[in-house]
Amino acid sequence: MFLPQLLTRAEKGEKLTALTCYDASFARLLAENGIDILLVGDSLGMTVQGHATTLPVTLEQMAYHTDAVARGVAGKAFVVADLPFGSYQRNAEQAFDSAARLMAAGANMVKLEGGAVMVDTVRFLTRRGIPVCAHLGLLPQSVNATGYRAQAREASAATQLFQDASDLEAAGAQMLVLESIPGVLADEVTQHLAIPTIGIGAGPQCNGQVLVLQDLLGLTEKPPRFAKDFMEGAWNIAAAIRNYVASVKAGEFPGPEHGF
């Protein structure tokens, strides 16, 4: 799947579904059961490698997993790959080199975290043909500064996030992940932007939803508030994935209990 197809579906009001994915087998399974976007997330540092945060993940590891996912999905879903911590923050040229590595591995788009500080980098990348998904709200790569807690709950922080979203779109970002922010704010941002928003703990009004695969499968020991175990009541993994897709597209997930 290519970006114009994905954007057209969002423009028509179709809810987009996304899950993290780290290998070829799950890539094939997710694509066959209705997942639109496979996020090769640096969350693999926690879910696959057993680290406490995403920070130890390297660019080489991200390229390895992106390659595996791209081969497994075989063009049947859209692949977004995270730029890992330390691979893009120095300057735009470093970001381009890292993004090019992930695109060569099979990504259709790269994702980076941050607001105003990343605007020039997003502009640099998109002007050179690299599609970018921005990420605002809770930023896992900044966990040492913020902790794992909901963001933009104060008026000043909400105003800054709204401005950052506008500036990132103007710089060329073509998708935006909103993580762990009040649903009212996510709705305002979604209504304001022309690009699709993908929520995770950001209420039901975003253009799409994403979850960590292990959270969906009930494998996380202490799942975050925004997660839901879709294996409950499902007879196999494929059925759990289909239940997630149906719930997102029907506007049933996330519910009030998953928001902030």
Residue 255 CB neighbours (<10 A): 12
Strands annotated E in 9-108: 16-20, 37-40, 78-82
Taking Cα atoms as reference points, which of 81, 73, 82, 8 lies closest to residue 34? 73
- Give the span between the Cα atoms of 260 and 249, in whole angstroms: 21
Taking Cα atoms as reference points, which of 206, 200, 165 lies closest to residue 186? 206
Taking Cα atoms as reference points, which of 2, 5, 32 lies closest to residue 19? 32
Taking CA 223 as the corner, what is the angle to CA 221 and CA 226, rounded to the nearest 5 degrees? 170
Q: Catalytic residue, from 179, 188, 252, 257: name it.
A: 179
Task: Examine the residue annotation and report whether 32 is marked as an active-site residue of this protein.
Answer: no
As annotated, the active-site residues are: 179
